[in-house]
Structure 1
Amino acid sequence: MQLVQELPEIFESFAEQRKKSFLMVKEWKDQGKPIVGSYCTYFPKEIAMAAGAASVSLCSTSDETIAEAEKDLPKNLCPLIKSSYGFAKTDKCPFFYFSDVVVGESTCDGKKKMYELMSEFKDVFFLRLPHEQTEAAVQLYRNEIIRLKDYLSEKFQVEITDEMVREATRVNNRANQALKDFYGLMKHDPTPISGYDVFKVLYGSTFKFDRAALAEEVIALKQKTEEEYKAGKHFEKRPRILITGCPIGGATEKVIRAVEENGGVVVGYENCTGEKAIGIQVDENAEDIYEAISRRYLAIGCSVMTPNHNRFKSLDEMITEYHADGVLDMTLQACHTYAIETNKIRRFVNEEKGIPYLNVETDYSQSDVGQLNTRVAAFIEML
């Protein structure tokens, strides 16, 4: 039975949130409130929240400004990096324009060097991210988080106490848990909604400044969707696809559409759109709140980590819990860490989980949409 949606306006509201926030960010700025921009899930937004700042994801998912970026950056660089820099350089991203500071991070060499160029025309605070998930790394990143706290405290002329950080942690934990509970609805078979509707909520939530209000909104949406499902309204039964790999958003939404326009349904996002960003909580009752924040963020299973055990752990759990029939691994061109990891992911999915795997490499253009649809359609037909 196809879902008879009574909630389309809610999902579209999340889809339009980025545009709405373009206006909100100016209002926030006009009120004298600070704004901190970031690009990565390793950014500890609890610290910015404790400083009274709005934390916002910056524009980085369109090919609109890549040509301008390539005047300074190599053409054979990851499109996410080129897009990030291009929007910043051309002032076509209102979030970047109004940000008081951009928090960068040493996830990969390309981003690290790009932040050097960006710092020539914007204040950039650079987080030195360890590339291993050890106890020593936790302490190293803890020190970086405290360094960020001290920087924001001085820049915005505000006191940031441990209790303020702890309270921000409680608020952010609740928002993340609400989002996790919401996309957990996709464990149902058939699913209550489409994977694209789930994506609208997850992606749109990154542009909402008020994390407390976000939690309430998502909790209500989850309850309403659950009620609709119990009433017999749901998405039609289809092959269930789990997406992993590079961040999805903007131009790469074509991957989601390729799945759902060719007979499948995306039941989960293991990448930065979903589980990586939301799936782990900070221990808000820990004696050392900064160590707890460090431990939470370093647990993210990104391919920049060596070894990257947590990505496989997350995939293992999600494939089982979401009853995935197949895994689609999306890699952006020139993203070397994810590209190198694809063979290990393929073996894990095929041999240990016993389900089919498909890797697609793409960029931010629409030139490969036909080929992408052909490959994904064949994969789903096989399922």
Structure 2
Amino acid sequence: MTTLGLPEQFDKWGEARRNGFLSIKKLKEEGKRIVGEYCTFTPTEIILAAGAISVGLCGISEEPIPDAEKILPRNLCPLIKSSYGHAITDTCPYFYFSDLIAAETTCDGKKKMYEQMAKIKPTHIMHLPNIVDEGGLKLWAGEIKRFKERLEDFYQITITEDDIKKAIKDKNEERALLMEYFRLGALNPPPMSGSDIHKVLYRTQFKFDRPRMKAELRQLIDDIKADYNSVERKKSNRPRILITGSPIAGAINKIAPAIEEAGGDIVVYENCGGPRSNRWLVDEENPDVYYALAEAYLKIGCSCMMNNDRRIELLDELIDEFKIDGVIDISLTACHTFTVESARIKEFVTKEKGVAFLSLETDYS
């Protein structure tokens, strides 16, 4: 449960996605460029450098899945089916108002979904390497440059390296603020609930006025710190929980309350959108902006990568930093890469860190 007297602050962030529906319609009517994306591997800096708005697309509800299953197989990840279902039923305003979809080959299911999605919306596929080495870095740097060229051609604009450098600085500021926010969970007692942590990290992508979004995030952090330090707080003995695994935006609304009602505190997430994709900044001093972006993005420890040591390294750091008592590894049904990798995560967490571990497979029902 939230331990601070700031519920209205978190409610405001919870409303961001709903309010974003109206905002994106207004921005579209004003002639703004809008690019939709599904994954943290998407180099948002290139979208920003194009003078476009980057928006995360819908894929968290079970409602459109029956429509998706008319084309996609039932034994497919619910995130993919939900994403495609929203697209074909026009139930995602963000998809509807996007000019182009930035797509990435993180898994086979997504690859085939994007083939279908390209029939209804311009879709640019970025070919993600499945191993992080020098060859992979060169491939991804080339794909980022190719994405830049696609946006230039699509919008009939020129994107300069100075534009990209400004966007890198902008996104680095956002990443630094998010990490400062996440690190508040290391306090004991934690100053916010796991639901509130996830609410803010997820809703950030639906605040399209970037200077205002960063200012509001700065204010939220400062308010939490001020409130936390305003009284002496007794340390909690509730188990401190780390959530890891698949993208879980649709499932967390049933999982987080169950954990917290059972007496645990979710203090950090090692999922898409959390420290996994925000802990490392893009090198602003590297003159090769494409290589700098590739290097930073390929530090994301996603299970789609072979020999995914980066995820182990991050879990090692987070378990120590947040004084974790238990790790819950959540895999969406048919998310094969995360499900297979769960065995390695269990071995590391239990044998090397001596921490309790639970593997949980679920869908959006």
Give the TM-score taking structure 2 as reference length.
Answer: 0.97
Counterparts of 1:42 and 1:234, CA distance in 2 = 39
Do 2:17 and 2:203's aligned partners in 1 also have CA atoms closer than 8 Å? Answer: yes
Match of 2:303 in 1: 303
Superposition RMSD in Å:
1.4
Q: Provide closer, same or farther for how the CA distance between residues 4 and 37 of structure 1 changes in structure 2, counting only shifts above 3 A.
A: closer
Counterparts of 1:214 and 1:36, CA distance in 2 = 18
Range with bigger deviation, 272-281 or 71-80: 272-281
Aligned residues: 364
Range with bigger deviation, 243-252 or 41-50: 243-252
Match of 1:368 in 2: none
Match of 1:374 in 2: none
Match of 2:175 in 1: 176
Counterparts of 1:363 and 1:2, CA distance in 2 = 26
Equivalent residue of 2:267, what SS?
Answer: strand
Q: Provide closer, same or farther for how the CA distance between residues 327 and 289 of structure 1 changes in structure 2, counting only shifts above 3 A.
A: same
Match of 1:289 in 2: 289
Do 2:188 and 2:235's aligned partners in 1 also have CA atoms closer than 8 Å? Answer: no
- How far apart are 1:235 and its partner, in Å? 9.4
Do 2:4 and 2:228's aligned partners in 1 also have CA atoms closer than 8 Å? Answer: no
Matching of residues 79-158 of structure 1 within 5 Å: 79-158=78-157
Counterparts of 1:231 and 1:287, CA distance in 2 = 45
| 1:112 partner letter | K
Equivalent residue of 1:250, what SS?
Answer: coil
Do 2:201 and 2:273's aligned partners in 1 also have CA atoms closer than 8 Å? Answer: yes
Equivalent residue of 1:244, what SS?
Answer: strand
1:48-72: CA deviation from partner (whole Å, max 9, x where unpaired) = 0000111000000110100000000
| 2:294 partner letter | S
Q: Provide closer, same or farther for how the CA distance between residues 140 and 173 of structure 1 changes in structure 2, counting only shifts above 3 A.
A: same
- How far apart are 1:205 and its partner, in Å? 0.4
Range with bigger deviation, 211-220 or 66-75: 211-220
1:92-132: CA deviation from partner (whole Å, max 9, x where unpaired) = 00000000000111000000000000101110000000011
* Gap regions ≥5 residues in structure 2: none
- How far apart are 1:15 and its partner, in Å? 0.8
Counterparts of 1:60 and 1:351, CA distance in 2 = 35
Do 1:276 and 1:301's aligned partners in 2 also have CA atoms closer than 8 Å? Answer: yes
Matching of residues 8-47 of structure 1 within 5 Å: 8-47=7-46
Q: Provide closer, same or farther for how the CA distance between residues 233 and 163 of structure 1 changes in structure 2, counting only shifts above 3 A.
A: farther
Do 2:242 and 2:266's aligned partners in 1 also have CA atoms closer than 8 Å? Answer: yes
Match of 2:222 in 1: 223
Whether 1:348 and 2:340 are equivalent positions in the alignment is no
Do 1:39 and 1:104's aligned partners in 2 also have CA atoms closer than 8 Å? Answer: yes
Match of 1:254 in 2: 254
Match of 1:378 in 2: none
1:305-363: CA deviation from partner (whole Å, max 9, x where unpaired) = 00100000000000000000010000000000001001110000000000100010000
Match of 2:186 in 1: 187
Match of 1:240 in 2: 240
- How far apart are 1:236 and its partner, in Å? 7.5
* Moved beyond 3 Å, runs of 4+: 233-236
| 1:324 partner letter | I
Counterparts of 2:252 and 2:197, CA distance in 1 = 15
- How far apart are 1:233 and its partner, in Å? 7.0
Q: Provide closer, same or farther for how the CA distance between residues 142 and 235 of structure 1 changes in structure 2, counting only shifts above 3 A.
A: farther
Counterparts of 1:195 and 1:252, CA distance in 2 = 9
